[in-house]
Chain A
Amino acid sequence: MSGLRQKILSTASDLFQTQGINSTGVDTIVATAGTTKMTLYKYFSSKELLILEVLKEGHQDFQTWLNDKLSANTKHPAEKLQKLFDYIEEWITAPDFNGIGFIKASAEFPREDNPVHKLSTEQSQQFREYIKQLATEANIKDADGLSLQLSLLFKGAVQAEHMQRGSDAVKYAKIAAKILIDGSLTR
């Protein structure tokens, strides 16, 4: 991949997360990345395409990081599920955390027919599927229900954290997740 393309992507990602997607113009992105509009449009034919690429990369980074953490530090499926919110907390409370892309994007593009909204819904669904897979491996009977509960809990905590940094939302979400997981394990 071209270094310049990557530079534009990471600059746009930082700006989208810190200033918002809609309020970040292409001019700001090229000025911050030290390039030109022509170069940006050479790699991304539109701002929308750039947003989609940023979202895809951000989601991939988050999922890979989470998966690596869980695979490296846990052995048993039930333990993976229990540790999920520990790592989510680690990600969210990191000093450079600026939000979860698909949650911010879905709020900024509320229209359901918008491609950015569609992609963020898809990523949200993928994340839920990931939780469902962990729950299924842990032999949880209602894996589908638990995955919906944990994804609602996760999304709400991230939104609360977006509104107010250091809100402790994830701290309580972690305890609540444990209550929900244990409740479904004993069923």
Chain B
Amino acid sequence: MDIFDSPWLINMLAKSSKTPEGRLLGLFDILNDWLKAPSLEQANVTLGAPNSLLISYCVEEAKSLGAENPELLAEHIVLIAQNAARHAITQPESNSLIHAKKVALALIQAQTQKSVIAADIKGSHSALYGVAASVVILIGAAAIWAPMFMHSQSAQAQLAQQEQLNTTIIQNKALTAIDASRMYAKYEQMRQGTCQFPEVLQIPDEHKSIYLENVVGGKLPNDLADLSVANFYLEKVRCNFTPMLMAASK
């Protein structure tokens, strides 16, 4: 029996959970149970290439959970499941399918994080408008400018701030361990909540890559200059730390 080519697997997946995420992750539990079944003779286990049925099923689930690239997510998850199942046959004690499930969950998070952010930014009550409005009020003309214009004013104001910021950066020193650990702590904290990031369009071109990599992407900046820029934008990120389960139960 080739498990990856069996309609039985699709049936089991469909029954495994009420959520698309649960059904994608169910793949690992089903394989784990199946490979541990006492009646199973390992000699009969074949793990061929996943057929289009399994991939298509996973693509639909990935679409339902709002993945940025559902085809890629489905393919990557199935590949990981296959590799882990092969690993489980040669080294059953490695718990490879349990580890593979964690990997799949991390990939789902990686593909859905930005969708959440994008959805939040689209919301009319985002923190972004708050920032834009306060800048505009300061210069005393809030009442006459349309929201679109507020965006561009906000961008200009930020640009001016960045120029100021740039002048304070004297040299490109390497990060110390303390800098790195502080940044990691900030990233970690951000991940605990649902965060609203400033729109990338508002950010000057020279800072876009730092913003995307070191703020949105959560990658450690290369030097102190990048760190200052990243910190500047990190301050602009607004996060809601309501526990996800609580938020979901509303």
Contact = CB atoms under 8 A, between A and B. Distances in A.
Nearest to B96: A148
B69 to A, nearest CB: 6
Contacts of A33: none
A152 interface: yes
The interface residues of chain A, by DSSP majority, are classed as helix
A173 B80 CA distance: 11
B93 to A, nearest CB: 11
A156 B113 contact: no
B72 A182 contact: no
Contacts of B75: 160, 163, 169
B36 interface: no
Contacts of A152: 80, 83-84, 87, 96, 99-100, 103
Interface string A79-92: 10011001000000
Contacts of A79: 180, 220
A122 interface: no
Given A79-B180, A82-B220, A186-B188, A156 B76 contact: yes
Report, as a range, how many residues of chain A touch the other chain.
35 or more
Contact of B184 (A86, A176, A182): A182
A148 B111 CA distance: 21
Interface residues of B, number: 36
A61 interface: no
A63 interface: no
Interface string A84-107: 001000000000000000000000
B111 A178 contact: no
B219 A160 contact: no
B99 A157 contact: no
Interface in B60-87: 69, 72-73, 75-77, 79-80, 83-84, 87
B107 to A, nearest CB: 5
Which of A156, A157, A183, A185 neighbours the largest number of chain B CB atoms within 10 Å of its CB?
A156
Given A79-B180, A159-B79, A168-B72, A173 B107 contact: yes
B218 interface: yes
Given A152-B83, A182-B188, A172 B103 contact: no
A58 B100 CA distance: 27
B151 to A, nearest CB: 28
A153 interface: yes
Nearest to B97: A152
A79 B90 CA distance: 32
A149 interface: yes
A182 B99 contact: no
B73 A172 contact: yes
Contacts of B113: 175
A173 B218 CA distance: 13
A149 B72 contact: no
Which of A83, A112, A175, A186 neighbours the largest number of chain B CB atoms within 10 Å of its CB?
A175
Contact of B107 (A76, A148, A176, A186): A176
A147 B151 CA distance: 45
B99 A148 contact: yes
Contacts of A153: 80, 103, 106-107
9 contacts: A75-B177, A153-B107, A160-B76, A169-B75, A172-B69, A172-B72, A176-B103, A182-B187, A182-B188
Given A148-B96, A152-B100, A182-B191, 18 more contacts: A76-B180, A112-B90, A145-B99, A149-B106, A153-B107, A156-B77, A156-B83, A169-B72, A172-B69, A172-B107, A175-B106, A175-B217, A175-B218, A176-B110, A178-B218, A178-B219, A180-B102, A182-B188
